[in-house]
Amino acid sequence: MRMRTFAAVVTGALAVTALTVPAAQADGRYGDTTITKVTVNGGKNVVVGTSGVKKFTVVLTAKDNSGIKDADISLRGPAFGILTTSATTCKSNTCTAKFVVDPKVDLLYGNDRAGTWYVDAWVNAKDGDFIWTEKAKSFKLQRQSKLTANASPEPVKKGKTITVTGKLTRANWETFKYQGYGKQSVKLQFKKKGAKTYKNIKTVKSSSAGALKTTVKATVDGHWRYSFAGTSSTPAVTSAADYLDVK
């Protein structure tokens, strides 16, 4: 028997929740039920912007000698964030939970909810066995990022100095706008005309407002871009390339 009590102040599906589970059932099981695999969003980070909903699934595989009956799957993250599923279906030994995140409902005033999240799962077998596992899987819920790059002047004479500007921004779940991501290391990259790969030229630190600016010598025609490796709260992003004609 599942014995759980919830006391919640709910904003959409995301809630500040007190979760109580009897000590014998927290991270425990009865019988031979086991969870063998958990995959969130196909193995990719969950990235949410400033508008529109983000839909993703959690796929859980379990086993028991009697077969799997059903599962209760929820997500837990920073700042007491809880996300509950809109629907869970089990077929054979695989259970799929569907989740929907609306930044203007579920993440309102929630920039601090970006980061590492965990899957909590309760799985029931057909013979009454069960398993309850906290932190069955971790994943990142991140604020969508954007990056731009512009090389000028163009065209430019060989050997002259060019300036490459840009801006690194990310979703603000409080204002629902993209704001500058400051004090971040961003790689300036170059690909010579006809080449297949980019090379790192230098590292540029974004300003407090997310602005990027640096100078280099122009020697050959090619493509310039910025590339950001990402952080726990913000995904990696690469700008569109700006082609520069060197005369």
Q: What pLDDT shows up at residue 16?
A: 33
Place of tokens 């520069």: 244
| Best CATH choice for the domain 5-140 from the list 3.40.50.1110, 3.30.565.10, 2.60.40.1930, 3.40.50.300 | 2.60.40.1930
pLDDT tens profile 87-139: 999 999 999 999 999 999 999 889 999 999 999 999 999 999 999 999 999 99
Q: How far apart are CA 106 and CA 109, in angstroms?
A: 9
In one letter, which amino acid is 41? N
5-140 shares its CATH topology with 145-244? yes
Contact 88, 97 (CB under 8 A): yes
pLDDT tens profile 9-49: 333 444 333 333 333 344 788 999 999 999 999 999 999 99
Domain regions of the chain by residue span? 5-140, 145-244
Residue 128, token pair as written in the block: 């009454």
Residue 187, token pair as written in the block: 């790689």
Superfamily of 145-244 according to CATH: SOR catalytic domain (2.60.40.730)
Q: How far apart are CA 119 and CA 44, in angstroms?
A: 14
The number of residues making up the chain comes to: 247
Residues sharing a CB contact under 8 Å with residue 121, sequence separation 6 or more, in sequence order? 35, 38, 60, 71, 72, 73, 74, 131, 132, 133, 136
* 119 alpha carbon, distance to own chain's centre: 14
Angle at 218 between CA 214 and CA 220, to 5 degrees: 140
Contact 136, 119 (CB under 8 A): yes
Q: What is the pTM of this model?
A: 0.86
Q: How far apart are CA 200 and CA 188, in angstroms?
A: 6
Q: How far apart are CA 86 and CA 66, in angstroms?
A: 27
pLDDT tens profile 209-222: 999 999 999 999 99
Contact 174, 232 (CB under 8 A): no
Beta strand 130-143 with 46-48 is parallel
Place of tokens 């921004």: 169
